[in-house]
Amino acid sequence: MSDNLPGNDNRSNPVPPPPAASSAPNAHDASNAHAAPSAPPYTGSPAYNGGPVQPKGLALTALILGILSLIFCWVPVAGAVGGIVALVLGILALRKAQPKGLALTGLITGAVAAVVGIIVTILFFVGLSLLGGSIDDAQEAIEACQSGAETVEIAGQTVSCSSIDY
């Protein structure tokens, strides 16, 4: 099977033959005095002369953290904190001239996650404080019914102890 691959056929091999040896190795031929030196044989890998690699660690971290924070922004505190960190990293990446697309995406997703995360966190703690009072009231009502009371007040409503299932 490997015999059928391109490059295995001697007729299609891109490697040029080696230069022919001259009869006198040290003789200076006047016709070759101004000829260009022969190129090295083709090795199969293209020459890459790229510039320096642009650092992108902050931008990539801002992007990943921004996306994760956006996914988890419904979790109180986690989405807000992750979004704020992604926002800061995105700003730092832009200032350090890292890839603009990655940095902007991290910055935007971090900002959205921070705003939504802060709103979710505030609503969570407000709801928890409101619910906490109701749970305490309900527990006191159950204890009063167990003590022998006929009616109790739960969240502003009078309830008969015979209707409470505990």
Which tens digits make up the pLDDT trace of 59-79? Answer: 899 999 999 999 998 998 988
Only one residue has tokens 């704020």, namely 84
**DSSP state letters, 46-79:** ------PPPP-HHHHHHHHHHHHHHHTTTSTTHH
pLDDT digits (tens, 9 = 90+) for 10-24: 555 566 666 666 555
| pLDDT more than 90, % of the chain | 28
- The arithmetic mean of pLDDT across residues 103-116, rounded, is 93
pLDDT digits (tens, 9 = 90+) for 126-163: 888 877 666 777 777 778 788 877 877 776 778 777 76
Is residue 60 within 8 Å of residue 102, measured between CB atoms? yes
Q: What is the pTM of this model?
A: 0.53
**Per-residue pLDDT for 30 more than 80?**
no
Phi and psi, residue 158, nearest 5°: -85, 125
Name the strand (E) or helix (H) holding 152: strand 151-154
pLDDT of residue 127: 85
> What pLDDT sits at residue 91?
92
The arithmetic mean of pLDDT across residues 95-103, rounded, is: 88
Closest CA to 154 of 165, 166, 143, 141: 141
Evaluate whether 77 touches 121 at the Cβ level (below 8 Å): yes
